[in-house]
Amino acid sequence: MAKTIAIIGAGPGVGLAIAEKFGLQGFNVALLSRNTDNLAPLQSKLQAKGITAGIFKVDILDRDSINRALHQVIDEYGAIDVLEFSPSPAWETLRAPRNIDVENEQYHLDFQVLSAITAVQTVLPQMVGRKSGSILFTTASAAQHPNFVTASFPHTSG
């Protein structure tokens, strides 16, 4: 049985590159995003390379949606062997340090941190039970090359 990677926040940049890398190694690829219409071209590119790729809708600001979407991936492919987490917030939600306020930062904590915890809690028990699995966190390039305009966005590199 093929292994599966679930990419939360799949897009045409890093998400597609990761999907191709794993897909060409024989992984099923689950593309997860709030806008599934944007995923269809990615799915087509992957399928043209012989990669099995599915589209799943997720709203990372809704913890039940995260849980539901990941369970749909598990139902479709049997397990999630690699969880890759890389959603990017809309540019207009980013703030320079002087403009950060509590509401905006709460949005970013919900968007990037609490949603990541929810995703991990969903897949980790199965990974621990199998004694196998990986979790990858990727994000904006500002994690390696800080940019003051993105101060409100909690950057990670992994």
Q: What is the pLDDT of residue 156?
A: 46
Name the residue with tokens 């940019």. 147
Q: What is the DSSP string of 61-84?
A: T-HHHHHHHHHHHHHHHS--SEEE
Residue 128's domain is classified under what CATH number?
3.40.50.720
Please give the tally of structural domains in the chain: 1
In a domain, 155, yes or no: no
Name the residue with tokens 């905006």. 104
Residues 6+ apart with CB under 8 A from 38: 11, 12
Question: Could you read off the pLDDT of 146-155 as tens digits, one per residue?
Answer: 555 555 555 4
Question: Could you read off the pLDDT of 14-69 as tens digits, one per residue?
Answer: 899 999 999 999 999 999 999 999 999 999 999 999 999 999 999 999 999 999 99
In a domain, 156, yes or no: no
In a domain, 157, yes or no: no
